[in-house]
Structure 1
Amino acid sequence: MRVLNLVTSPDAEFFRLQVDAIRRHGIEQTTLGVADTLQHTKDEMDSRSVLDYLRFYSEALPHAVKGYDLVHANYGLTAPPALTQPYVPVVLTLWGSDLFGPFGKLSRWCARFADAVIVMSREMADALEVDCHVIPHGVDLQVFRPFPQRQARKVIGWEPSMKHVLFPYPKLSRVKDYPRALQITEAARECVDGPVKLQSVYGVPHERMPLYMNAADALLLTSRREGSPNSVKEAMACNLPVVATDVGDVHERLRDVDPSHVRRTDAGLVDALVDVLERGPVSDGRAAIRPLSVEAMGTRIRDVYRSVLGTRLARAPIRAP
């Protein structure tokens, strides 16, 4: 099987894990991505111009019919070039911001004409008028694992006697909402014995993130919208407690994890963060996240490919203009 991946962010770690997991099933893949010409200081949508996508489309179209068995469009804005060719079946994966963000209407329209649609959460599936496969991005459980907090803090240089709240996102991202995270942390500081510090960590090598997650006392997610945030699942794999807004599949992931909380209001987030900081830095999240390993994700995506190709053999290649 030969698959052409169209993707907005080919260097995104979760996408690279996906490619590796699928390749281990013997599936040959080629990736064609949009070059990110700006620094990662804005939302993903803001970092590329319309011209970037137009150039991407013109490059993608000639590739789409050159001997590939299937095109996998990753992110809603890659769907139009995939769907304009009439012969190769298309699998569309939506990540979250493409469905609930400013281009949601386009993503919903394209989903109607894809041969299969993959989404990150049940919330996303409910927002579409087509049948979907709910396959969240997987977690590398060999990389993200628990180890002693004192050891992790020594390696990265964090004060050992302080409570550290991890915010693993860019400060300038409007969707991630750093100002709200700072406000929540400052309010919680008034209710907790000892100093508390919000640690914004972004742009470090992905393989070093387990150090920060094991060094922290809690992960704080204040996002306005999400699909299936990898940071939450990675924190769970490290047994790091999570305090989060009710977005994407976070509530489903944290339902049986203790201590961890999902709250809607600022007051609720403050109370939840105080509870986690007072109870200690270890949760039981790893047991809950085991079914979402990278290996399991790769197997499920492979099965989607097989299903699409099997169905396509029974009908003529028809694509909406």
Structure 2
Amino acid sequence: MRVLNLATSQDAEFFQLQVRALERQGIEGTTLGVPGDQEPTDDGMTSRSVADYLRFHTRVLRRSLDAYDVVHANYGLTAPAALSQPTRPVVLSLWGSDLLGEFGWLSRRCARRADAVIVMSAEMADVLDADCHVIPHGVDLKQFRPFPRRTACETVGWDHDVGNVLFPYPEQSPVKNYPRAERVVDAVRDRLDGDVELRTVYGVPHARMPVYMNAADALLVTSRREGSPNTVKEAMACNLPVVATDVGDVRERLDGVTPSHVRRTDGGLVDGLLDVLERGSQSNGRAVVRSLGLERMGRDIRAVYESALDERSAPSVVRTVERNPGTED
């Protein structure tokens, strides 16, 4: 099977992992990225000009004439270009901000015309209110794994005698809400018998993130909205406790994970983080997240491609993808 991938962030690690997982499923993929420079916007996302997207439409129309079986639009802003070509089935993957943010109206409109739609969480499926498959981004369980905290702290230069709280996002992103993370950690410092450090880690190579996760005592997520945040699943794979706001599928993912907490208020986040730091133990997250490995994701997406091909004339997709606990490790 040959697939033409359309992407706004073709170099993003989670997208590259998806491409490689599909290759192992026998999918030959070619990726077209939206041209133009990316610029920061108020919600921390990136944008391009209208002219960039018009050029992208032209490229997609030209390339779709080649021998592809499916056009896969990754992120809602690529969907109009995918739908403008008349010959190939279109699979649309919505990642989160494209449905929950400024251009959600466009994603919903395009989803009604696509042959199949993939979303990252049940919350996104509820917002979309249309037939779709729920397939979260998978986790590289070989790369993200537990190893000794002291070794990790020495590698990244952190003091292992303090409570290291990891915030893996840019501080300037309003969506990620760094000021709230600061408030929570400041309040924990006032109540905890010991030092606490809020560690912002962003822009480092993805392959280095497992080291930071193993050096940390907790992952703190204070986002205003998310789809299915990879960082939570990666932390689970490292047995790193998570304290997070109730966004996206975080509550679902952390069901049965201890110690970890999902809270709505600042006070709840403070209590949750305080509990994790006082316990000083790893979570059981890896055992819970095993069913979200990359191979399972690849098989699920391939099945969506096959359904789009088989039912192009009358697409029929399910609301969710049932997931049985796997043994992938």
The interval holding the TM-score normalised by the smaller chain is over 0.9
Distance 1:41 1:208 in 2: 27
Is contact 1:239–1:285 with CA below 8 Å preserved after alignment? yes
Does structure 2 retain, via aligned residues, the 8 Å contact 1:156–1:212? yes
* CA 156–42 in structure 1, closer or farther in 2 if over 3 Å, else same: farther
Indicate the residue corresponding to 1:216 in structure 2.
216
State how far apart, in whole Å, the 1-side matches of 2:44 and 2:162 are: 33
Stretch moving more, 62-71 or 38-47:
38-47
Number of aligned residues: 315
Identity %: 67
Which one-letter code corresponds to 1:49 in the other structure?
S
Question: Residue type of the partner of 2:190?
Answer: E
CA pair 167-36 structure 1, distance change in 2 beyond 3 A = farther
Structure 1 runs (4+) greater than 4 angstroms displaced: 38-44
Equivalent runs, 1:211-250 vs 2, <5 Å: 211-250=211-250
Q: In the alignment, is the contact (CA less than 8 A) between 2:167 and 2:221 conserved in 1?
A: yes
The answer on 1:118 being equivalent to 2:136 is: no
Q: CA deviation at 1:53?
A: 2.5
- Are the aligned partners of 2:38 and 2:48 in contact in 1 as well (CA < 8 Å)? yes
- For 1:139, the equivalent position in structure 2 comes to 139
State the 1:68 CA deviation. Answer: 1.0
Q: Structure 1 residues 185, 36: closer, same or farther in 2, change over 3 A?
A: farther
CA spacing shift, 1:214–1:131, aligned 2, 3 Å: same
Q: Does residue 258 in structure 1 map to residue 258 in structure 2?
A: yes
C-alpha distance 12-36 of structure 1, shift in aligned 2 (>3 A)? farther
Deviation at 1:92, TM superposition (A): 0.2
Contact 2:188–2:270 at 8 Å: present in 1 too? Answer: yes
Over residues 107-126 of structure 1, what are the superposed CA-to-partner deviations in whole Å (9 max), with x where a residue is unaligned? 00000000000000001111
Q: For residues 182 and 283 of structure 1, what CA distance do their matches in structure 2 show?
A: 23
What is the distance in 2 between the residues matched to 1:219 and 1:265? 17
Q: Does 1:152 align with 2:152?
A: yes
Distance 1:42 1:210 in 2: 29
Residues in 2 aligned to 1:68 and 1:137: alpha-carbon distance in whole angstroms? 24
Q: Deviations over 1:47-105 (max 9, x none)?
A: 43333333322322211222211100000000001011111000000001000100000
1: CA distance between counterparts of 2:278 and 2:162? 12
The aligned amino acid for 1:107 is S
* Preserved contact between residue 218 and residue 281 of structure 1 (Cα < 8 Å): no
CA-to-partner distance for each residue in 1:216-245, whole Å, 9 max, x for gaps?
000000001000000000000000000000
Give the deviation of 1:160 after TM superposition: 1.8
Shift in alpha-carbon separation, 1:315–1:269, aligned structure 2, 3 A: closer
CA contact (8 A) 2:18 2:137 kept: yes
Q: Which residue of 1 aligns with 2:37?
A: 37
**Contact kept in structure 2, 1:42 and 1:172, CA below 8 Å:** no
Mean CA deviation greater in 88-97 or 51-60 = 51-60
Structure 2 stretches lacking a partner, 5+ long: 316-329
SS of 1:210's equivalent?
Answer: helix
Residue 183 (structure 1) shift: 1.0
Q: Which moved more, 1:130-139 or 1:50-59?
A: 50-59
| Cross-structure match for 2:326 | none
SS in 1 for 2:4: strand
The one-letter code matched in structure 2 to 1:158 is: W
AA matched with 1:95: W
Q: Which position in structure 2 is the counterpart of 1:84?
A: 84
Partners in 2 of 1:89 and 1:201 — Cα distance? 40
Q: Distance in 2 between matches of 1:35 and 1:81?
A: 13
3-state DSSP of counterpart to 1:269? helix
Give me the whole-angstrom Cα distance separating, in 2, the residues matched to 1:171 and 1:39: 16
Query: Match of 1:24, as an amino acid?
Result: R
- Whole-Å separation in 2 of the counterparts to 1:52 and 1:266: 41
Residue 128 of structure 2 aligns to a residue in which SS?
A: coil
| CA distance, structure 2, for counterparts of residue 49 and residue 180 of structure 1 | 32
Cα distance in 1 for partners of 2:19, 2:46 equals: 25
* CA drift at 1:43: 4.9
Counterpart of 1:319 in structure 2 is none
- Conserved? CA contact 2:6–2:72, under 8 Å: yes
Q: 1:176 aligns to what?
A: 176
Amino acid at match of 1:307: S
| 1:39 to partner: Cα distance | 6.8
**Residue type of the partner of 2:187?**
A
Secondary structure of the 1:154 match is helix
Q: 1-side partners of 2:104 and 2:114: how far apart? A: 15
Aligned to 2:301: 301
Q: CA RMSD in A?
A: 1.6
Return 42-51 or 266-275, whichever deviates more: 42-51
> Aligned equivalents of 2:109 and 2:38: distance in 1?
29
**Secondary structure of the corresponding residue to residue 183 of structure 1:** helix
